Amino acid sequence: MTLWFWIIAACAVGFLTKLLGYLVPRKWLTNPRVARIAGTLTIGLLASLTVVNAVASGERLVLDARLGALVAAAIALWLKAPFLVVVIVGALAAAALRFLGMP
Amino acid sequence: MSLLLRDSPGARAGLSIALATGLYGISFGALSVASGLNIWQTSVLSLLLFSGGSQFAFVGVIAGGGTGLAAASAAALLGIRNAVYGMQLNALLNPRGWRRVVAAQVTIDESLATSTGQSDPVEQRRGFWVAGVGIFILWNLFTIVGALVGNALGDPKQWGLDGAAVAAFLALLWPRLRSREAGAIAIACAVATVVAVPFVPPGVPILVAAVVAALIGFFQSSRGPEGEGLEPDLDPYRDPETAGES
């Protein structure tokens, strides 16, 4: 039930954020600081989410099959594979490493 | 429809991006149920939140044992760029009345990029609406497909679904790493995350990284050339000759 609450809250905040963009005066956009923080925040959050999902397990850092998924995905991206292929490559790498006995 | 497609580069670009992007919904649906959300919760996120990065962030934090508050915070912070997109699109398309509400909901990376990639105002409008509405429909359909498939798979780890999450986040980050500075920000935030993980509850390291990123953006706002890769938009029309550089 609590999870439902946070899901609805995230959705409400997400939509209001989008709508806010259509309601603020155009000149705010010309503030380069606002635009840049939006840019750096996006990069920083995505980098953080990548790392958390690769090496964090609760409050511990663990090295397991997910690290193989990270490397495999990086190689796929470097080879310019499309998004869905990259995701599948990541899953296959983790699954294969677990099959071979990695935690 | 075929006539429109033949004569409209905006609609054509929008449709191809909708097809390519809508399919990602499968990975979101599967990862979401693997994170412990049910199919209804998964679908509500795709219908109402409808912003891939924020949706992946929400379920990513939950999967890591984070609280609902941390999940919603990460999703909200990752959605801030949509406000900047909204300002740009409002200036470009100027939707009125109920159209403005619908336009806000389908304001995402891809619809912004499709629209701003066109030069003719009519094509900018067509590109935005075809990409935005097209992705919304397909994304939601494929979210359900992914959730059903994910549910049928059993133990998500056995199928490497946690590896799929890692790959998805890296794939979302990758096109933004077009400059050395963008790479430096990514590394700084990755390091901040790793350092924070043992000391704070799950989910909070992501918020620590957000603070680091915002501070970098705040203090470096006075310098930096145009087109360095930090502007908050994705460009689907990158020249294939130069797409691999930077």
How many A×B Cβ pairs under 8 Å? 341
Q: Is the pLDDT of residue A1 over 70?
A: no
B122 contact A CB<8A = no
Question: B interface mutation test: which of A37, A62, A66 has the most B CBs within 10 A?
Answer: A37
pLDDT band at A33 (very low <50, low <70, confident <90, very high): confident
Residue A89 CA: distances (Å) to CA of A72, A73, A93, B176: 7, 6, 6, 20
Rounded to 10 degrees, the C-alpha dihedral B237/B60/B68/B139 comes to 50
Residue B243: pLDDT above 60? no
- The more confidently predicted of residues B115 and A78 is A78
Which residue out of A33, A48, A92 would a mutagenesis test of the B interface target, given it has the greatest number of B Cβ atoms within 10 Å? Answer: A48
Roughly how many angstroms between the first and final C-alpha of chain A, as a whole number? Answer: 32
With beta carbons under 8 A apart, name residues in chain A contacting B89: 21-22
pLDDT of residue B238: 43
Whether the per-residue pLDDT at B237 is higher than 50: the answer is no
Query: Per-residue confidence at B2, pLDDT binned at 50, 70, 90?
Result: low
DSSP B23: T
ipTM of the complex: 0.90
Question: How many angstroms away from the CA of A100 is the closest CA of chain B?
Answer: 12
* Contact between B151 and B33 (Cβ < 8 Å): yes
Decide if pLDDT at B127 tops 90: yes
pLDDT band at B30 (very low <50, low <70, confident <90, very high): very high
Residues of B in contact with A100 (CB under 8 A): none
CB A86 within 8 A of CB B170: yes
Task: Please report the pLDDT score of residue B242 as a whole number.
Answer: 40
- What is the per-residue pLDDT for B229? 47
C-alpha span between A77 and A83 (Å, rounded): 8
Name which residue leads in pLDDT, A87 or A25.
A87
pLDDT over 90 at B3, yes or no: no
H helix runs in B106-226, sequence order: 109-116, 121-153, 161-173, 180-196, 204-219
221-240 of B, contacting A, C-beta below 8 A: 221-222, 224, 230-232
Q: What was the pLDDT predicted at A64?
A: 95
Q: Helix (H, G, I), strand (E, B), or coil: what is residue A61?
A: strand
User: Bigger pLDDT: B167 or B153?
Assistant: B167
The beta-carbon neighbor of B159 closest among A19, A42, A95 is: A95
Would an 8 Å CB–CB cutoff place B10 in contact with chain A?
no
Q: Does A14 score more than 50 pLDDT?
A: yes
Quick one: pLDDT at residue B166? Answer: 93
Cβ of B230 within 8 Å of Cβ of A40? The answer is yes
Six token digits for residue A79? 């080879």
Q: Which chain B residues are within 8 Å of A72, Cβ to Cβ?
A: 163, 167
Query: Tens digit of pLDDT for each residue in A52-70?
Result: 999 998 889 999 999 999 9
Residue A98: closest CA among B202, B121, B164: B164
Residue of chain A whose alpha carbon sits nearest to that of B102: A19
Tens-place pLDDT, residues B46-59: 999 999 999 999 99
Whole-number Cα distances in Å, B35 to B66, B155, B204: 11, 11, 17
**What mean pLDDT do residues B124-142 have?**
96
Q: Confidence class of residue A24 from pLDDT cuts 50, 70 and 90?
A: confident
Nearest of B97, B100, B168, B158 to residue B129 by alpha carbon: B100
Residues B99-125: b if buried by 16+ CB within 10 A, e if exposed: ebeebbbbbbbbbbbbbbbbeeeebbb
Contacts of A94 in chain B (CB under 8 A): 157, 160-164, 166
- CB A56, CB B197: distance < 8 Å: yes
Q: Does B105 touch chain A (CB under 8 A)?
A: yes
Residue B207 has pLDDT above 70, yes or no: yes
d(CA A101, CA A65): 9
Inter-chain residue contact A83 with B51, CB threshold 8 Å: no
CB B5 within 8 A of CB B11: yes
B158 alpha carbon, distance to own chain's centre:
27
Cβ of A37 within 8 Å of Cβ of B214? The answer is: yes
pLDDT of B142 reads 96
Instruction: List the single range of A25-29, A42-46, A83-87, B52-56 with lowest mean pLDDT.
Output: A25-29
- Tell me: pLDDT of A7 over 80: yes
* Tokens representing residue B93 in the block: 């398309």
Task: Give the 3-state secondary structure of residue A57.
Answer: strand
* Residue B184 reports pLDDT greater than 70: yes
Question: What are B66-105's pLDDT values in tens digits?
Answer: 999 999 999 999 898 898 889 889 988 999 999 999 999 9
Nearest to B64 by CA among B174, B207, B171, B218: B207
